[in-house]
Structure 1
């Protein structure tokens, strides 16, 4: 910032004071204007970043709701199959008859789990260009919590989602059933329950992931 001091001859202390006051006032005005411009820029950047983040979070929330709906539909045949075969076992039907029933319902013996897409581009950009630092602290905390929940869910599905599922044995049973071979009904029910649990736990994690996103978006509408 550069100022030209007026080159005038001072005839009195009063004139000097007036010129001095004008210079100081000009400097303060310029500094205040600069701060106002910077504040306006920061506020605009924060509003733009918040808008983009909220659009991204709404898309993620829609994707989660879609995955939850798909999982509810896909797990329903597994539950029906489990009840049917469990009823056969409880009634003491011969294994051969139970296996016949299993083969009739073999198309329902499928584990299909939907998982949403977690977008983070808007959040990453806001952090990278530091516009996130100008967002209201309470709102920023809710955004950060929402994205942290997504990372936790992604880590879970990558490392722990199938830890309680005996995948190789599930494939073995499917192969035997498709070839018309008998399987142990109780073992079949055990694997079936693992498949149901995997789907249910996945939906449970998605429901927990949705909550902080919903809170962040609720803050945006208030």
Structure 2
């Protein structure tokens, strides 16, 4: 900011007062102009950051939705096998018959193919690093921060559930028995139930995160299926 002062001293008190007022007005005008420019620059920086963040969140939202749909399709054969095994076991069908009629033709349904979403966070990280998030409205910024935190926690929750619920060694043993035609149907049913329960928990976590992202982006949730355990289990299938 540069203020030009008079080159000649004031010839009277009135002239001095006029020069003083002009200098003050010049300073205030320059400060005001500088503040307006700075405010506009900050506003533009905040709007650009918000645009990049929302584009990233929309990509993550679509990733969640495609992952949920993929898991539904991939596990339909496993659900069908589980349900058929349960019916035959309850009906008292001999194990050898179950092996021949159900298990042997369904070997391809036993592959573990659970998809997990991968969330991008580069736009958020850059905005935090260059401090442009400071120029996003506080309520919106709080929503962004919360949903990015949920995304960071997602994989930890999924892996913790999988580790607690699914025994890979047990699954491998049962899968080997299936391949050689010597599996106990009841044991296979237990392993299927174990795995599918982990699938349902994963799907439920994905749906919950999808709902949060949809709310932040002001779009409808694709999986609004209710909150009861039965509804969540049916939706996972």
Using structure 1 for the length normalisation, give the TM-score. 0.94
Distance 2:9 2:200 in 1: 87
Mapping 1:2-13, distance limit 5 Å: 2-13=2-13
1:207 aligned onto 2:202: no
Match of 1:163 in 2: 164
**1:57 Cα deviation (Å)?**
0.5
Distance 1:5 1:71 in 2: 74
Match of 1:26 in 2: 26
Distance 1:125 1:169 in 2: 44
Contact 2:161–2:198, Cα closer than 8 Å, also in 1: no
Match of 2:150 in 1: 149
Gaps of 5+ in 1: none
Contact 2:53–2:124, Cα closer than 8 Å, also in 1: yes
**1:3 Cα deviation (Å)?**
2.9
**1:162 Cα deviation (Å)?**
3.5
More RCO (CA 8 Å, sep 6+): 1
Contact 1:149–1:212, Cα closer than 8 Å, also in 2: no
3-state SS in 2 of match to 1:163: helix
RMSD (Å) for aligned C-alpha atoms:
1.4
**1:157 Cα deviation (Å)?**
2.4
Distance 2:164 2:58 in 1: 30
1:137 aligned onto 2:160: no
Distance 1:68 1:162 in 2: 20
Match of 1:70 in 2: 70
Mean Cα displacement is larger for which, 154-163 or 86-95?
Answer: 154-163
Match of 1:102 in 2: 103
Aligned residues, how many? 218
Gaps of 5+ in 2: 220-237
1:115 aligned onto 2:121: no
**1:88 Cα deviation (Å)?**
1.1
1:27-81: CA deviation from partner (whole Å, max 9, x where unpaired): 1111111111110000000000010111100100001000000011112111110
Distance 1:127 1:107 in 2: 47
Contact 1:143–1:213, Cα closer than 8 Å, also in 2: no
**1:2 Cα deviation (Å)?**
3.9
